[in-house]
A and B are shown apart, each in its own frame.
Chain A
Amino acid sequence: MNCEQAHSTDADWAIASPVPINDLKFPLRVKVGDETIVIHQTKAGFRAVDKGCPHQGASWTQGDLIMNESMIKCPLHAFTFRLSDGKGVNCPGFRIKVFDVRETDGLLYVRVPKKVGVMEA
């Protein structure tokens, strides 16, 4: 998997949901552009990941936040990834996509690549 965190030069902020944050439940699965993502609320703020574990596709809506909520663990086989950069922790070679999330005027925005799916590592 060649995908990594989107950089500002090739990414835009897109609205994740027109619903105010206070009315949303997390984890939240949304589609932004071509990308289905899951937004988690962590101690360090909001963070988005792609839709499922690269091992067997389990939804990240079922993922557990561990290590002081800095990592996400798959509910099926405990494959664990860093939310900071998507790197597999206990599964060498595996990666997930991660996305920055920000809150502006009570709404959530996700920084997604301009053209999803062709990012280079």
Chain B
Amino acid sequence: MESNTLILRGAHVIDPKQGIDAIADVVVANQRIEFVGDASHVDGEVLDLTGHYLSPGWIDIHVHTYGTLGFSDPDAIGVYQGVTTFVDAGGAGIGVLDEFEATMDGLHTSLYAGPFVRPLGLIALNFLEGEIRSLGNIPLSEWVDFMKQKRGMVRYLKCNAMGNYGPGSLKISKGLAQVLGVPLYMHIGEFQQHKVEETLAMEAFRIAEPGDMITHVYHGNMGKVVDDHGKVLDLVRRAQDRGVLFDVGFGGYNFAWKVAEQAFNQGLLPDTISSDLQQFNVVTPVKSLANVMTAMMILGMGLYNVISRVTDRAARAISLQDEAGTLAPGMPADITVFDLVKEPLVVTDCILQKRTASAYLKPLMAFKKGLRFDCDMERAKKESNWLVQYSDEKVPQRAKWLTAPQKQFLSDLAEALAHVKWSITPEEEFDYDKALELQRIFHFVRKRHDLTLKACLDSVHFSFTDHPFPIQAGLFIMCQERDFFFSRIREIVANQVSVEIL
């Protein structure tokens, strides 16, 4: 055996894909799993994990790392919480997948995209996402071209089954998913503050085909999976029976104990467990995928079945079985080590209802391709990770790193934007066309410069935030008060090039 062999000794190994649920050793070499079993005859570095649990690296199929919901430090909800693979659920759309790729490079956690059907990705910021009126709103050739080049990046197509838009928008999304050859991943449940007369949630259950996924299945808003008497709807049951996958997607709006208990009591269990972690729910109530897994245990799901829903079942749902979800020989050494702490823990849902677990899951360490990361459950809660602060009182320190060509880009960008008006107010409908226009101008100017996309994005981001929040360029600009935007750019480029802005 080679000297880089690592023996993880004596943990209680749970690998549902292989039917393993026993004390065993796990041998890792060359970043891959050698075998699970008795390693007493193997030479190598030994890590004694007696008394702990070990499973394939956890997969969270629904997080937000990018865009207006994303994090400054996405690994904080990844390897540092025991999650070795995650999927960004809708942060990017076809119009910004290049930005997604440019800015999300270099994470320790494996990141995949579940792009949103609209071109900018999710807008969030308390705005409804709007409808897809026709195929004319879908840049089909761009989608097809992208999938030809980067198919491995995309795990599903996300859309929202919400709002007063009628079923057409969902059917168009379904059609696009079919063209692209990926599952459709549908959000159900109206946000509480949005008044709608009729929910699209039921239409989601109607159009979903085997392999398509419905998330937020235990939400407590309009469009629940149970009727007014708490009975699981026949439509919902039939969808799961025919192979539609149900995902937890806990989130900040999307999980209610009452609904979950009613559903579990009638056997409506999730196929996958995901967190929907984002900057607006990481401190509370979601906290971590481990917290959501503990919630499932409160509902009566056993540990083995919980692990299955973040390993082999999660991998199958996003067609990642060849890369993740099991400790089978030859697989990448993605591993989560955790404890089942026999102490009570209160888990709060999205409407502040509480339940108490008799024991809870606590990730200890993750191995990503054999590289060890010790978990730090506080890391994600740091304000610098989730609180987007536009530094309007002083120029961010990062702006000092901008090069002369980047400042020239900023100057030209400001000049190109000089005659465009914009504002963002929560009382008004979001001006999607304006965000698209700002996006187009950003890229129009970018293409006139000999700079990478990342360098151009950094130019804008470094000018306004101290921490890296990779938000879509057009949306990022739109989030700045217009006068302030120009004054800041003017301040940054003042010593570099002579420009006249406004």
Contacts and interface: CB of A to CB of B under 8 A. Distances in A.
Interface of A: 1, 54-56, 66-67, 73, 75-80, 89-94
Contact of B424 (A78, A90, A93): A93
B426 A93 contact: yes
B126 A55 contact: yes
Given A75-B284, A76-B252, A89 B386 contact: no
Interface in B363-390: 383, 386-390
A67 B387 contact: yes
A56 B193 contact: yes
B281 A77 contact: yes
Nearest to A95: B426
Contacts of A94: 126, 426
B498 interface: no
B283 interface: yes
Nearest to B478: A92
A48 B3 CA distance: 63
25 contacts: A1-B427, A54-B426, A55-B126, A66-B387, A67-B383, A75-B352, A76-B252, A77-B252, A77-B280, A78-B279, A78-B281, A78-B283, A78-B387, A79-B280, A80-B387, A89-B390, A91-B426, A92-B424, A92-B478, A92-B479, A93-B125, A93-B423, A93-B425, A93-B427, A94-B126
Nearest to B423: A93
Contacts of B280: 77-79, 90
A91 B125 contact: yes
A16 B283 CA distance: 32
Contacts of A91: 125-126, 426
Contacts of A56: 192-193
A67 B389 CA distance: 11
A90 B279 contact: yes
Interface of B: 125-126, 192-193, 252-253, 279-284, 352, 383, 386-390, 423-427, 478-479
Contacts of B424: 92-93
A54 B253 CA distance: 16
A66 B479 CA distance: 22
Chain B contact residues: over half helix, strand or loop, or mixed? Answer: loop
A75 B284 CA distance: 8
Nearest to B282: A78
Contacts of A54: 426
A34 to B, nearest CB: 21
Nearest to B475: A92
A58 to B, nearest CB: 9
A90 B253 CA distance: 18
A75 B424 CA distance: 24
Contacts of A90: 279-280, 387-389
Contacts of A66: 383, 387
Nearest to B384: A67
A73 B387 CA distance: 10
A93 B352 CA distance: 26
B387 A89 contact: yes
Contacts of A77: 252-253, 280-281
4 tightest A-B CB contacts, nearest first: A92-B479, A93-B425, A78-B280, A90-B388
B193 A55 contact: yes
A77 B193 CA distance: 12
Nearest to A57: B193
Contacts of A89: 387-390
Interface centre among B125, B280, B389, B424 (most CB of A within 10 A): B280
Contacts of A75: 284, 352
A79 B252 CA distance: 12
Given A56-B192, A66-B387, A78-B282, 5 more contacts: A55-B126, A56-B193, A78-B386, A90-B280, A92-B478
A32 B192 CA distance: 30
A79 B282 CA distance: 12
Contacts of A78: 252, 279-283, 386-387
A31 B427 CA distance: 26
Contacts of B390: 89
A63 to B, nearest CB: 12
Interface centre among A1, A56, A67, A90 (most CB of B within 10 A): A90
A92 B283 contact: no
A66 B389 CA distance: 13
A79 B383 CA distance: 12
Nearest to B285: A76
A93 B252 CA distance: 21
Nearest to B192: A56
Nearest to B350: A76
Nearest to B392: A87
